[in-house]
């Protein structure tokens, strides 16, 4: 796709690489995510789920497309990076994050999760690296492991970042309560920063 000019690499994960890019015609800043096609049948999961979600604290999907054996997702660019990097930087500088800021971020996360769960969508990998910063706000991102529940029962889903996994995940069951468990661990990251 010649519509975008890649400027720099933002990061990489198990399924792909994210880049900062500009849309050539409009100069709009975007994040381009290049996804490997290895997990057959699930390569479009993130794009399909994101296209069904519309919330101020969830990263917006602009479009997705295939180029040869790669699947590309064009997302809203979050200029302040991810919360994991922010936490590490503040810790290394012996800095502090204002309690009101932590409360605002937590509220925004919970509001986005409530919205997702009301649509029977689970994040399944909620951790500081998948929470992006835009100005003074947070946005949930990286829906590569997300799952849409077809019914209200638990689904087998032994995935997610180990440190943020709920006890249910060790039984290979997962429901919306497991996302909330991740939020508790997220919040504990901040006690040393207040």
Backbone angles phi, psi at 152, to 5 degrees: -85, 5
Residues 105, 158 within the same domain: yes
Residue-by-residue DSSP string for 74-92: EEE--TT-BHHHHHHHHHH
Residues 108, 62 within the same domain: no
* pLDDT of res. 160: 46
CATH number at residue 16: 3.30.200.20
One digit per residue, pLDDT tens: the chain, 194 residues? 689 999 999 988 766 788 999 999 999 999 998 887 655 455 566 567 678 889 999 999 898 888 887 888 899 999 999 888 998 899 899 988 888 998 899 899 889 988 988 887 777 677 788 889 999 899 998 765 444 444 444 444 444 454 444 455 445 555 666 666 566 655 566 555 54
Q: How many domains does the chain have?
A: 2
* pLDDT of res. 115: 92
The residue among 51, 76, 101 that closes a domain is: 76
What is the spatial distance between Cα 77 and Cα 73, in angstroms, rounded to a whole number? 12
Contacts (Cβ under 8 Å, ≥6 apart) of 24: 2, 3, 4, 5
Long-range pairs for 152-157 at CB < 8 Å and ≥24 separation?
152/120, 155/122, 157/122, 157/124
The residue among 59, 76, 93 that closes a domain is: 76
* pLDDT of res. 78: 94
Domain that holds residue 35: 4-76
Nearest to 123 by CA among 85, 159, 82, 91: 159
Residues 8, 58 within the same domain: yes
The residue among 55, 76, 97 that closes a domain is: 76
Three-state DSSP class for residue 147:
strand
Residues 43, 98 within the same domain: no
* pLDDT of res. 19: 94
Q: pTM surpassing 0.85?
A: no
Q: Find out whether 33 is annotated in a ligand binding site.
A: yes
Extract the tokens encoding 16.
């792909």
Determine which helix (DSSP H) or strand (DSSP E) holds 63, and give its type and residue range: strand 61-67
Nearest to 62 by CA among 145, 136, 1, 133: 1
Residues 50, 122 within the same domain: no
Extract the tokens encoding 126.
């909620």
* pLDDT of res. 1: 67
CATH number at residue 181: 1.10.510.10
Residues noted as catalytic = 125
Residues 172, 94 within the same domain: yes
């Amino acid at each position: 796709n010649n519509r975008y000019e890649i400027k720099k690499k933002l990061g990489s994960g198990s399924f792909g690489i994210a880049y900062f890019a500009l849309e050539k015609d409009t100069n709009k800043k975007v994040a381009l995510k290049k996804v490997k096609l290895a997990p057959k049948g699930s390569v479009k999961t993130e794009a399909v789920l994101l296209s069904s979600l519309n919330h101020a604290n969830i990263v917006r999907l602009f479009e997705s497309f295939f180029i040869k054996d790669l699947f590309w997702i064009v997302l809203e660019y979050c200029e302040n990076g991810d919360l994991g990097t922010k936490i590490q930087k503040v810790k290394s500088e012996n800095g502090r994050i204002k309690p009101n800021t932590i409360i605002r971020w937590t509220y925004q996360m919970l509001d986005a999760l409530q919205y997702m769960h009301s649509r029977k969508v689970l994040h399944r990998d909620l951790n500081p690296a998948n929470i992006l910063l835009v100005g003074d706000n947070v946005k949930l991102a990286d829906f590569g492991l997300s799952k849409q529940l077809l019914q209200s029962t638990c689904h087998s889903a032994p995935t997610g970042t180990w440190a943020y996994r709920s006890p249910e995940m060790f039984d290979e069951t997962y429901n919306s309560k497991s996302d909330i468990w991740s939020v508790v661990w997220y919040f504990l990251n901040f006690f040393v920063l207040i």
